Amino acid sequence: MAEVQSVQALASSLGALPPEFVRPEHEQPRATTFRGAAPPEIPVVDMSSPDAGRRMAEAAAEWGIFQVVGHGVPADAVAALQRVGRGFFALPQEEKQRYAMDPGEGRTEGYGSTLRKGDLEGKKAWADFLFHNVAPPAAVNHAVWPESPEGYRDANEAYCGHMVRLTRELFGRLSAELGLDEGAMAEAFGGDDVVLLQKINFYPPCPQPELALGLAPHTDMSTLTVLLSDEVQGLQVFKDGCWYDVNYVPGALIIHIGDQIEIMSNGRYKAVLHRTTVSREKTRMSWPVFVEPPPEHVVGPHRQLVADEFPAKYKAKKFKDYKYCKINKLPQ
């Protein structure tokens, strides 16, 4: 099994940031984060309000991101997911190593680190992670789910059940605001076969956070991402030439619009460009759930959203082919 060289272990022994983590100046948080007095506010939508669908659609079109409260995910399910996630990263390195991913051996789920591979310039991000599919049952491999801490499987399965329900509700409202049937978006992405991938991001304290990133700028290749964050500041989004902090809202879940919704909506909703910063003093953790079409499922602009005056902006493509091109930075 390939050994994971973790940022968590590296961070405990450093006094200065190694050069492979120093971002180019045009990407460094200290130089590119908006510091004005009144940044625009990323929308926070109460899903129980009568105008929730309209406000989510407006945010999806303008920002590609919004936060939701009144989402119906119980606080105890959230707390249990966070407890077992923190517990996993508190395990000894040799125990975490049991679940190491190794794409060369066909293990594409499990425990890993951004130390494995840099970007095209050789720069690395400041993060470790654990991820695995949680739905549908046919896509789940429990062998890559940690046995410790106690209750890991129960907490993830319970939280996943709420994510399946919430995802359908989000799809339905975003579909209706496009003038489509509420079930149109779910159908476009594979219906009951849609894949939910649970990830835990772990960003340890960084000796020079003004020079580093936890995750480099990107859009998610998924349909949407439901992100649970702790209270440590870190998520930033790009809009109108600036990087803006996403403020922590207690009890909220952050919804990222991904590439597949942008494609399906023929560009009416926008995938959000985002990145993650890190802290000098504090560990930050987040729990994103990526909602993806099945690998063989074809996604393209919805036929009702294409007309002579609104030609298709994107090619229809199997999700596995889209994913391959995106990961390998090939033209779509």
Decide: helix, strand or coil at residue 176: helix
In three-state secondary structure terms, 287 is strand
Residue pair 64/245 in contact by the 8 Å Cβ criterion: no
Per annotation, catalytic residue among 71, 96, 128, 220:
220
Task: Give backbone dihedrals phi and psi of 27, rounded to 5 degrees, phi first.
Answer: -110, -10
Give the largest CA-CA distance in the chain.
60
Q: Is 302 a catalytic residue?
A: no
Among this protein's residues, is 274 annotated catalytic? yes
Considering the candidates 46, 102, 193, 218, report the single residue annotated as catalytic. 218
- The question of whether 71 is a catalytic residue gets the answer no
Cβ proximity of 234 and 203 under 8 Å? yes
Handedness of CA 253, 124, 272, 170 (dihedral sign): negative
Q: Spot the catalytic one: 199, 318, 320, 326.
A: 199
Q: How many CB atoms lie within 10 A of CB 28?
A: 18
Query: Which residue among 270, 274, 297, 302 is the active-site one?
Result: 274
Q: b/e for 37-59, b at 16 or more Cβ within 10 A? A: eeeeebbebebeeeebbebbbeb
- Amino acid letter, 89: F
Two tokens at 321?
């082919």
Query: DSSP secondary structure string, 112-152?
Result: EEGGG---TTS---S-EEEEEEEESGGG--GGGS---STTH
**Residue carrying the six token digits 């500041």:** 233
Active site residue 320: no
CB neighbour list of residue 158: distance below 8 Å, 6 or more residues apart:
77, 80
Closest CA to 34 of 210, 244, 277: 244
Nearest to 284 by CA among 220, 202, 217: 202
Residues acting as catalytic residues = 199, 218, 220, 274
